[in-house]
Amino acid sequence: MAAAQTLVRIFPQLGDSLFLSLAELPTPLERIPRLENGAARFIKREDRTSPIYGGNKVRTLEGLFAHARRRGAQRIWSMGAFGSNHAIASAFHAPRVGLKTGALIFPQPPTRTAQNNARALVALGSEIRTMPHAAFLPVAALRERFRHQGDYLMLPGGASPRGVVGHVSAALELEAQLREIPPQQHPKRVILAVGSGCTTAGLLLGFALAERLSLGEGRAFRAPIVHAVRVTPFPITSPANILRLAHSTARFLEPALGECVRFRPIDLARRLYIDREHFGGGYGKPLRKRGAEARRAFESSDLPFLDEVYAEKSGAAFLALAQALPDEPLLYWATRAPQPLPIPPPKALHAAPGAVRRFLAAKPIRR
């Protein structure tokens, strides 16, 4: 069953209206015995946020859908690439709360994962608008805002304070789970893919808040380094952009939480590391050899499937760190939804925008 976010349980003054319940929480925290050759190895199963369609975006949507409903919106728009996980998550979950969906999307390299997502977006009946490049997003968003003034537009990946707060809560949730584990085994680094920066900013702020709260309650929790593996280019995944998003989320929460959520940017910056070594050839392009090795290693360890756009890159980074830091406890933040995706009927596919049909017909890049 869906459960209340940890953030609201700790701070009930935030009120029940901050989130619309979509996720099944808490998500499991598991050990990875096959990768332990010394220090502890963990995985946070964000892939299991929902049996309908899981992954990290479910937490993002809880805050954004709540705001859209309070504003009386009938349709909610996502923005991103043709294979946007955020757009797919929205298309799956918006009907649960009475919202229609739309997607403003732009091209990306054709991979099987991206094509499967674009195909599912058509099958789920989202209203689709395409543009030739991401640079056209602001114009497209303004056009839709004037065309449908009652609709609600989300930023790419949901990267706004109302989308980030779900991941602040996820960090507090993890701290609560770690209380059952000796402090010396607590992860020193949390490794995840960073695309829009929404999850990364939330974890960065949430871990800092969890450390502050634990000190006040006499517990020993040390905020881990958020090791964010770049999958989208600069400046989207620049440290400055992520810190700005974390700071704006803290300001959003401050009226209810007060000084406990105030942090100096330099203190948050010390806990953020942007991994550029596993970006590969660019956004949407497979990591090739290292990505394939990571996928096989995860499969042999009964870990979640790694897609070539996001998870192979973060998975490869996690495995490299596990070898380079044998005495340092590590945690992998699994963000990929595992559910099979729907296939549109021929009639719906024929009615899709021409740019989407051409994208689906393109030969996918080989891993």
The pLDDT tens digits for 78-121 are 999 999 999 999 999 999 999 999 999 999 999 999 999 999 99
Confidence band of 216 (pLDDT split at 50, 70, 90): confident
Whether the model clears a pTM of 0.95, i.e. scores above it, the answer is: yes
Q: What is the structure's pLDDT at 1?
A: 39
Q: In the predicted model, what is the mean pLDDT of residues 164-191?
A: 97
Topology of the domain covering 58-158+347-361: Rossmann fold (3.40.50)
Confidence band of 3 (pLDDT split at 50, 70, 90): low
Burial of 81 (0-12, 13-18, 19+ CB in 10 A): buried
Residue with tokens 């805002």: 145
**Average pLDDT value over all residues in the chain:** 95
What single string gives the DSSP state of each residue in 238-281? -HHHHHHHHHHHHHHHHHHHGGGG---HHHHHTTEEEE-TT-TT
Q: What is the structure's pLDDT at 34?
A: 92
Tell me which of 93-107, 146-160, 193-207, 335-349 is least confident. 146-160
Q: What is the structure's pLDDT at 265?
A: 94
Q: What is the structure's pLDDT at 217?
A: 87
Q: What is the structure's pLDDT at 4?
A: 66
Domain 6-56+159-334 sits in CATH at 3.40.50.1100
Domain residue spans of the chain: 6-56+159-334, 58-158+347-361
User: CA-to-CA distance for 181 and 299, rounded, in angstroms?
Assistant: 26
Q: Is the pLDDT of residue 132 over 70?
A: yes
Q: In the predicted model, what is the mean pLDDT of residues 159-175?
A: 98
Amino acid identity of residue 214, one-letter, is S
Confidence band of 76 (pLDDT split at 50, 70, 90): very high
Q: What's the pLDDT tens digit per position in 341-355?
A: 999 999 999 999 999
Q: In the predicted model, what is the mean pLDDT of residues 229-252?
A: 96
Q: What's the pLDDT tens digit per position in 301-316?
A: 899 999 999 999 999 9
User: CA-to-CA distance for 223 and 236, rounded, in angstroms?
Assistant: 24
User: CA-to-CA distance for 254 and 165, rounded, in angstroms?
Assistant: 12
Q: Mapping DSSP to helix (H, G, I), strand (E, B) and coil, where does residue 41 land?
A: strand
CB contact set of 72 (below 8 Å; sequence gap of 6+)? 150
Q: What is the structure's pLDDT at 206?
A: 98
Give whichever of 29-33, 136-140, 233-237 has the largest mean pLDDT. Answer: 29-33
Fold equal for 6-56+159-334 and 58-158+347-361: yes
Q: Count the Cβ atoms, other than its own, within 10 Å of residue 133.
A: 8
